[in-house]
C-alpha cells in the first residue's frame, strides 16, 4: 500500500526557501571575504525572489519576477563557477536557480494547457418598490431583492 505523502508544497514556500538561500549566500560571502558587493547582491536578489514568491498566490501566472531573478542567478553563478572552478557557493546557487527556472517553466506550461475556468454569473438584483407613486417611493424607500 502506498502512503499518502500529504498535500504538495506550494511553489510559494519553495520560493521563500530559495530567497532565504540566496540571502544566506550573500551573508556568508560577506562573513568570509568581507565582500560588501556580495552582501548587497544577496540581499537585493533575495528580496526580489521573495517578492516573486509572494506574488504567486495572487496570480499564479505572474511568475516573471521570480523567473527573471532565477535566470539571472543561473547566468551569474554559472559564469563564476566556470571562471573559478570552485564548487561552493557558485554551483549550489546556480544549480538551485536552474531547478527553480525548470520548476517555473513546468508551471507555466501546465497553466497554458489547462482550459480557462468558467466565469460564474451572479444573479442580477432587481428593485422592488414598497409604494405606488414616485413621491411615495422617495418617502417609503426601495428594497433590493435577488
- The overall pTM is greater than 0.75: no
The residue written with cell numbers 538551485 in the block is: 96
Residue 139 has pLDDT above 70, yes or no: no
Average pLDDT over residues 67-93: 86
Output the pLDDT for position 112.
67
First to last CA, the chain: 51
Write out pLDDT tens, residues 15-44.
Answer: 999 999 999 989 988 998 898 998 999 999
Q: Angle of helix 36-55 relative to helix 64-84, nearest 10 degrees?
A: 150
Residue 1 has pLDDT above 70, yes or no: no
The closest alpha carbon to 55, from 106, 10, 118, 116, belongs to 10
Residue 94 has pLDDT above 90, yes or no: no
pLDDT mean across residues, the chain: 79
Q: What share of the chain is helix, strand, coil (3-state, %, to 5)?
A: 65, 5, 30
Structural domain spans, the chain: 11-113
Residue 81 has pLDDT above 80, yes or no: yes
- Give the separation between CA 55 and CA 120, rounded to whole angstroms: 24
Q: What DSSP character marks residue 129?
A: E
- Give the separation between CA 58 and CA 12, rounded to whole angstroms: 10
127 three-class SS: strand
Amino acid at each position: 500500500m502506498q502512503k499518502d505523502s500529504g498535500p504538495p508544497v506550494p511553489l510559494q514556500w519553495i520560493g521563500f526557501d530559495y530567497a532565504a538561500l540566496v540571502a544566506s549566500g550573500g551573508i556568508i560571502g560577506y562573513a568570509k571575504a568581507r565582500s560588501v558587493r556580495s552582501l548587497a547582491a544577496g540581499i537585493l536578489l533575495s528580496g526580489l525572489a521573495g517578492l516573486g514568491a509572494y506574488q504567486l498566490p495572487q496570480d499564479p501566472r505572474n511568475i516573471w519576477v521570480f523567473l527573471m531573478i532565477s535566470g539571472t542567478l543561473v547566468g551569474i553563478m554559472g559564469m563564476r563557477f566556470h571562471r573559478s572552478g570552485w564548487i561552493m557557493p557558485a554551483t549550489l546557487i546556480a544549480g538551485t536557480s536552474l531547478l527553480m527556472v525548470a520548476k517555473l517553466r513546468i508551471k507555466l506550461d501546465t497553466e497554458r494547457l489547462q482550459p480557462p475556468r468558467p466565469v460564474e454569473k451572479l444573479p442580477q438584483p432587481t428593485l422592488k418598490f414598497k409604494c405606488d407613486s414616485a413621491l411615495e417611493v422617495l418617502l417609503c424607500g426601495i428594497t433590493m431583492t435577488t
